[in-house]
Amino acid sequence: MTILLDKNSRLLIQGITGHEGLFHTGQMVAYGTNVVAGVTPGKGGEWVLDGKVPVFDTVKTAVDTTGANTSVIFVPARFAPDAMLEAADAGMPLIICITEGIPVQDMMRVCAYLDQKKVRLIGPNCPGLLTPGEAKAGIIPNNISIAGDVGIVSRSGTLTYEVLYALKLRGLGASTCVGIGGDPVNGTNFIDVLELFEADPHTDRVVLIGEIGGTDEEKAAEFIARHMTKPVTAFIAGQAAPPGKRMGHAGAIIEGGAGTAKDKITALQAAGVRVARHPEEIPDLLA
């Protein structure tokens, strides 16, 4: 297996009968992903996608019946925290939350609970996972990437597609692509994924796509310097965004670092990471 997702993963889609959920379930199935169940409270007993996927009322019944082991969440932001907790309580070991716009404090409570349960959460506000040629759990377009040896981890959505596509045009493929999401508080961070790629025999090199804000890229740089033997190439979006004024002092007290693109690039370069000036330059640096 590559990391996190392969053709043996058994997917459950929460919010499967919604507009987005249904469309993307169709895409995942078309990609060859093993989608075994969906959940929409009140619609249990129905089938979607021409009778291919059964719908359940609760995650627990879906798991009991189908043995689903990976959940993908499409439910709207105000219900998504509940959906994540429901999946965790049903024993789901891997949850991928696509939903954007979830309040930060909800996410802090969800993460605190999921940590106790030892559940891995990817996202929220993320494009999900893609292991090219095997399976897709999320919304990454089906035809923009080929299988290969590049592990990709990104805080962004469409920018990740841009990078996958730029690699494909040059004949370069991905082992697994992990969109960890752009929210301030999320489940899995860069370091978690770098650790998995370092240990993965199918991954020979890694692309990291970061953004301004926070200090996750700086922490990733520290991890790379100490623990990564595989080469890492990076791009940081937001170089044209000069930091402006501050509001309140709390942030400055907490992190010290400013989270600018410049700070992140400097930290990554010091860790031996090649940093691209724009997404289409990444294949040049990998070659």
Partner 1 sequence: MSAYFVDVGSGVEYRLSAPKEWGYLMKLHEYQSKQVFAKYGIPIPRGRVASTADEARHIAEELGGRVVIKSQVLVGGRGKAGGIRLARTPKEAGELATQVLAMEIKGLPVRKILIDEAVGITKEIYLGITNDRGARRPVMMASSAGGVDIEEVAANTPEKIIKLHIDPLLGLRDYQARDLAVSIDMPREFWRSFGEIAAGLWRVYKENDADLVEINPLVITSDNRLVALDGKMVVDDNAIFRHAEINEMRDLGAEDALEVEARKYGLSYINLDGNVGCMVNGAGLAMATMDIIKLSGGEPANFLDIGGGASSEKVAAALRIILADPKVKAVLFNIFGGITRCDEVARGVLTAIHEVKPKVPMVARLVGTNAEEGLRLLANANMITAETLVDAAQKAVAIAKGA
Q: By CB under 8 A, is residue 102 in contact with partner 1?
A: yes
Residue 176: phi and psi, rounded to 5, are -140, 145
Q: By CB under 8 A, is residue 242 in contact with partner 1?
A: yes
Q: By CB under 8 A, is residue 15 in contact with partner 1?
A: no
For this structure, is 24 an active site residue? no
Q: Which of 1, 49, 147, 185 binds partner 1 (CB under 8 A)?
A: 185
Contact (Cβ atoms closer than 8 angstroms) between residue 273 and residue 208: yes
Q: To the nearest 10°, the Cα dihedral for 98, 104, 108, 113?
A: -40
Contact (Cβ atoms closer than 8 angstroms) between residue 140 and residue 130: yes
| Helical axes 104-117 vs 80-89, angle rounded to 10° | 0
Q: By CB under 8 A, is residue 117 in contact with partner 1?
A: no
Contact (Cβ atoms closer than 8 angstroms) between residue 169 and residue 287: no
Interface with partner 1 by CB under 8 A: which range of 8-16, 34-42, 223-231, 271-279? Answer: 271-279
Q: Which of 32, 251, 272, 284 binds partner 1 (CB under 8 A)?
A: 251
Contact (Cβ atoms closer than 8 angstroms) between residue 134 and residue 124: no
Interface with partner 1 by CB under 8 A: which range of 4-12, 82-90, 110-118, 200-208? Answer: 110-118
Contact (Cβ atoms closer than 8 angstroms) between residue 9 and residue 26: no
Interface with partner 1 by CB under 8 A: which range of 36-44, 86-94, 194-202, 252-260? Answer: 252-260
Length of the chain: 287
Contacts with partner 1 in 201-240 (CB under 8 A)? 209, 211-216, 219, 235, 237-240
- Which residue lies nearer to partner 1 by CB, 1 or 185? 185
Interface with partner 1 by CB under 8 A: which range of 1-9, 17-25, 35-43, 145-153? Answer: 17-25
Q: Which of 31, 161, 190, 197 binds partner 1 (CB under 8 A)?
A: 161
Q: By CB under 8 A, is residue 278 in contact with partner 1?
A: yes
- Which residue lies nearer to partner 1 by CB, 24 or 71? 24
d(CA 173, CA 132): 8
Beta strands in 40-93 (DSSP E): 47-48, 53-56, 70-73
Please, which residues bridge with residue 145 across strands?
none
Q: By CB under 8 A, is residue 248 in contact with partner 1?
A: yes
Q: Which of 32, 93, 101, 272 binds partner 1 (CB under 8 A)?
A: 101
Please, which residues bridge with residue 55 across strands?
38
Give the active site residues: 249
